[in-house]
């Protein structure tokens, strides 16, 4: 009951982020998210493609600008929601992740990929520059690496993605589930309330200058000590026992 597995399950359409898929993903991410039992969310996919990005059939001239804007707005909402959730979100990638699919991987807190996975932002090749995926890519990758992906559409291999920081780990395909669960189990050993505080603080300080970040995080650490689990953890360490978290 500690894990929520969200599986993109439309392999015939390469798990495209249609409006319906985005709405469903948002609903699944938010479902009972404040439950004490929920500690980790894992996003994976069926089929050889993790996610191909937006459903281009929804972006033709048959639909108006209002509809197109709605698609991009809910996509941005989902991507930013991931980092606002009080639990870590792990992308388990086994295949190709392109455009908004690559954006989804970059937006997750942790990403574990199989060796066969690839990552690309090929929108430039069809006349639709990946401007919204660039927000997540530009915050995950060195600028020149991100721009080469955006300007050329050429994919990064899993190893290249690891080298540049787009993913956390790369493992053989048959070890992907094991490695993802190993990370999840380790997360579950910690206090949910402490992890929630730490995650929120991490993303907040990333937008600040160094002096402001240190001032803010120093106060957060002082506040952390006033929490029940903060005191329990220190007492358990001193007493050389395992902590009993209240979450």
User: Is 247 a member of any domain?
Assistant: no
Q: What is the CATH number of the domain that holds 149?
A: 3.90.226.10
Strand partners, 110: 90
Query: 95 in a domain, yes or no?
Result: yes
Q: Are residues 181 and 195 in the same domain?
A: no
Q: Which pLDDT belongs to residue 178?
A: 98
pTM, two decimals, is 0.95
Residue 77 within a domain:
yes
217-233 residue pLDDT tens: 999 999 999 999 999 99
- Contact 167/112 with Cβ under 8 angstroms? yes
CA nearest neighbour of 123 among 101, 143, 104, 144:
101
- Residue 76 token pair: 């941005």
58 & 7 share domain: yes
| Residues 142 and 176 occupy one common structural domain | yes
pLDDT over 80 at 72, yes or no? yes
Domain range for residue 226?
190-239
pLDDT per position as a tens digit, 152-202: 999 999 999 999 999 999 999 999 999 999 999 999 999 999 999 999 999
Same domain, 133 and 230: no
In a domain, 7, yes or no: yes
Tell me, what's the pLDDT at 1?
63
Instruction: Report yes or no on 245 lying in a domain.
Output: no
Where helices occur in 46-107 by DSSP H, the ranges are 65-84, 100-107
Total of domains in the chain: 2
Structural domain contains residue 246: no
3-state helix, strand, coil in the chain (%, to 5): 55, 15, 30
Residue 217 sits in a domain whose CATH number is 1.10.12.10
Tokens of 130: 């990946």
Percentage of residues in the chain with pLDDT exceeding 90? 94
In this structure, the answer to whether residues 230 and 154 fall within a common structural domain is no
Q: In this structure, are 184 and 197 located in the same domain?
A: no
- The answer on 201 and 149 residing in a single domain is no
Q: Does residue 75 sit within a domain?
A: yes
Give residue-wise pLDDT tens across range 42-63: 999 999 999 999 999 998 877 7
């Amino acid at each position: 009951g500690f894990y929520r597995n969200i599986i993109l399950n439309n392999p015939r359409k390469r798990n495209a982020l249609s409006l319906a898929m985005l709405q469903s993903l948002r609903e699944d991410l938010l479902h009972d998210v404040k439950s004490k039992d929920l500690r980790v969310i894992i996003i994976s996919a069926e089929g050889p493609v993790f996610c191909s990005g937006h459903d281009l059939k929804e972006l033709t001239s048959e639909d108006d600008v209002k509809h197109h804007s709605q698609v991009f707005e809910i996509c941005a909402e989902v991507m930013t929601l991931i980092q606002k959730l009080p639990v870590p979100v792990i992308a388990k990638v086994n295949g190709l992740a392109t455009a908004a699919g690559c954006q989804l991987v970059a937006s997750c807190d942790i990403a574990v990929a199989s060796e066969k996975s690839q990552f690309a932002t090929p929108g430039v090749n069809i006349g639709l520059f990946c401007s919204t995926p660039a927000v997540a890519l530009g915050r995950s990758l060195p600028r020149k690496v991100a721009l080469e992906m955006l300007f050329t559409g050429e994919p990064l291999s899993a190893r290249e993605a690891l080298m540049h920081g787009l993913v956390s780990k790369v493992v053989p395909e048959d070890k992907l589930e094991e490695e993802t669960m190993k990370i999840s189990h380790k997360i579950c050993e910690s206090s949910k309330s402490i992890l929630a505080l730490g995650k929120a603080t991490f993303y907040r300080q990333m937008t600040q200058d160094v002096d402001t970040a240190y001032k803010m995080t120093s106060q957060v650490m002082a506040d952390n000590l006033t929490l029940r689990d903060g005191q329990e953890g220190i007492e358990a360490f001193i007493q050389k026992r395992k902590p009993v978290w209240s979450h």
